[in-house]
Amino acid sequence: MVYLVDDDAAVRKSLMLSLEQRGLAVRAFDSAEAFLDTGPYTRPGCLVLDIQMPGIDGLELQRRLLEIACGIPIIFITGHGDIPMSVKAMKMGALDFLEKPVRHDALVKSIQRALARDTIANERELEKTAILERYARLTPREKEIMSLLVCNLGNITNKQIADKLAISYRTVDHHRSRVMEKMAAQSLSHLVAMDREFRLTDIAEAPAQ
């Protein structure tokens, strides 16, 4: 979904028609306030945003989206841009900054990059959610054993874990198998990689609030 925010009705109509002719789904808004009222955006998606508008301007909308951790890729379009303005937008994470009149082919290429990036980001977030849900299903003892495994990069034996936790070898073997099964880990290195990427043992070790 391409979200188009521009207070110029002629620009909105022209861009919307051009993008839809290229097979893109578009939702157009005449103000930043109207866009904010839509709630969560459809993913993958991107925001084509005019930088100078009455009320909330483009840069302010970008700042507000950052505050609520909305990572939608932003492509700025403007007829009144300057270098400091474009630098500020890019520093805050804008994907592109195009001057009006916008060349439609250039905009489409930028939108395609934005949608590809948001697709990857969305897949990563879905993966993270799934892994966190699997981790949450571990028992306290399983989390303890997983922590020992990943902290030692898998280079720790069941006997060493049993000695450290003062439990039997068979108990460790059982819990270790359950950890691998519940986490859908293909190997110890895979388990370590999941922990490193999503900081799972940090969650377990964080002090209670």
Task: Please report the pLDDT score of residue 40 as a whole number.
Answer: 85
The whole-angstrom separation of Cα 2 and Cα 6 is 13
Task: Please report the pLDDT score of residue 208 as a whole number.
Answer: 35
Type of residue found at 46: C
The whole-angstrom separation of Cα 54 and Cα 74 is 19
Task: Please report the pLDDT score of residue 81 as a whole number.
Answer: 66
Question: Which residue reads 């789904």 in tokens?
Answer: 25
Domains recognised in the chain with CATH numbers = 2-129 (3.40.50.2300), 137-205 (1.10.10.10)
Task: Please report the pLDDT score of residue 202 as a whole number.
Answer: 73
Task: Please report the pLDDT score of residue 204 as a whole number.
Answer: 46
- Read off the pTM: 0.77
Per-residue pLDDT tens, the chain, 209 aa: give them.
999 999 999 999 999 999 999 999 999 999 999 999 988 888 899 999 999 999 999 999 999 999 999 999 999 998 876 778 888 898 999 999 999 899 999 999 999 999 999 999 999 999 999 999 999 999 999 999 999 999 988 788 999 999 999 999 999 999 999 999 999 999 999 999 999 998 898 754 433 33
